[in-house]
Amino acid sequence: MAVPADSYRKSPRALPAKPGPWRYEAGWESRLVKGKGMIHFRGRGRFVGEAFEGERVGLKRTRIGVGEVYFGPRVIGELWDSEGGGIRAAWYRRRGREK
């Protein structure tokens, strides 16, 4: 009838320090995600996701009017100049659902 606290042992391993911000390739733009998951891009606010608040995202132009949004090495979506809202999910591109 022991409780979990009776068998708990502190780990001898230390947690790693918080990693620094992501660094993106030369030629990419980088933006800090502010409150409510917003970045300022091309003269207007764009939503990229509240989960990225306080983090840096990378912006890579892929073709005219379309840019990919990266968090570290992962593409998280696309920003279309013709749309004023937030990012399109990355799966649009993979499934060929472009306009």
Please report the pLDDT score of residue 91 as a whole number: 64
Q: What percent of the chain has pLDDT over 70?
A: 91
H-only helix segments in 1-99? 4-7, 91-94
Q: What is the mean pLDDT of the chain?
A: 86
88 exposure class (CB count in 10 Å sphere: 0-12, 13-18, 19+): middle
CB 54 within 8 A of CB 72: no
Least Cα distance to 48 among 11, 85, 99 occurs for 85
Question: What's the predicted TM-score (pTM) here?
Answer: 0.72
Share of the chain above pLDDT 90, in %: 52
Mean pLDDT over 74-86 rounds to 87
